[in-house]
Structure 1
Amino acid sequence: MSISTENKSQVICELIGAYREDGCADLDTVASVVKRYSGTQIPLIKPKGYSVRVCGQDGTVYAGNEDQLEAWKDFYLPERMEMVVIGAIDDFPCDAFGLQLVLLLCEDGNIYAYEDEVLHLVARSVKELFETGLTFPGLECYKLGECFEDYTEEEYNEIMESDEIKEMKEAHEKFRESLELGLLESLKEFKSSQFKDVEKSMAQPQKNSTMMKECYEIVVRKPMPVVHWQNWKCLISADGKVGVWCGTVV
């Protein structure tokens, strides 16, 4: 068994071990396990072809956004629920920002996936997640603010217009804008780099052509004149050496 396979089995085993007899999860233990095995890829039985990348919130597109974590706890489920990020599914076809489903384990043991302002109940436990698979869309879905539906319209509007909600939404929008700007800058740098490479490749043949021309001018000489053999004359030098000379004797 390879080390990577051992890691996959071990992280699943330790996450399952974080559940108590009442079915609730010890989130401190869960967070410790996630930190220790961060980066481990665990293939899902369902949907096929996708894996859970074990990580905390700092390994997701919401890294550094503590307001988002508080929003998940407070503004989606019928009751406030403590939860921690246990991983992400990258390049998943959905409406999630960056095509990344963020997986959260709640204190009640349920696992939710966050898709743009919707929490999906995707598994009832870690064991179900890895032995049966992830259900998406979720077994149940909770939209932002839906937990306040039992309030009167006036109470609901008052809550949604509260400073806390406004600050949370504003922080969320700013965070998304910063990510989008960062992505655009990265794309610009990538395109600029590609353009420079193209310019360089186009300039190279011209440089080679110039060098070939210079070499040609150096190497090429005027052709030697052809002299008929009958014009050759045999000479004997003073020291007795014989030589051949072509032309007129002066």
Structure 2
Amino acid sequence: MISSTLALRLKQLEGNISQVLQLLNEYEKELLDEDDPGRKSKYRRRIESLKQQKEKYEEEFSDLQVQLESEYPDRAQSLSSQLQIIDDKIDLLLESQEHLFQALMVHFSPKEQGFLSPLAQKLDQIELIKAKAFIEAIDEDLIPEKNVCLMLEEARQMIKASQEKELDLPEENVIIAEIINSPEIDVKHALKVSIPIIPFILAYEGELGLGTGVNLKEAWKGLKSKFTRDN
């Protein structure tokens, strides 16, 4: 292929893939923030449409890959990475609730699964996505250790306050409180154990008078999937 023609096709492909990624980021944010089931379905349909576009551009990239890697190796690698990010995002946002539940549970021991499973089964799909992403961010050290410690302390305070006010939380909160307050438990793992109860506590944020501080509330509500961190 003539170099100028290849360069033009590469530029067009870069623009198309970039646009898909930009739209996917927008739809992802809307989907994570949306509570209305009808609007959630609308964004999932849009994501399905982007998946079809991505497959078309992926096929075009595959046709040009050998030449691109020869003449434009860095840009070819960038396109490959972007396509993988898009794949990961789409898989995460469209996978079934049961699959998300199972993916969340693998982060815990069988004993922990025994009391966390009933909690996680009450979470909706978006809450499962957030919980899974939060836990993976902790595992991959994307959250500084200082912030992990601060968030854990806030989780302890939130659970304690909810118990003192006798709020109607799932009974598993008692077990979680005992575990995360144990001096022997690893700080990172303690925070992970507390994550499935967070949505239930935040439902009472007005009664608890949650302040700013570490702001586990904002960390949860503003959470995006780990795949958006570089975009």
TM norm structure 2: 0.21
- Computing the radius of gyration from Cα coordinates, the structure with the larger value is 1
Choose between structure 1 and 2 for higher RCO, CA contacts under 8 A separated by at least 6 residues.
Answer: 2
The structure carrying a bigger strand percent of its residues is 1
The structure carrying a bigger helix percent of its residues is 2
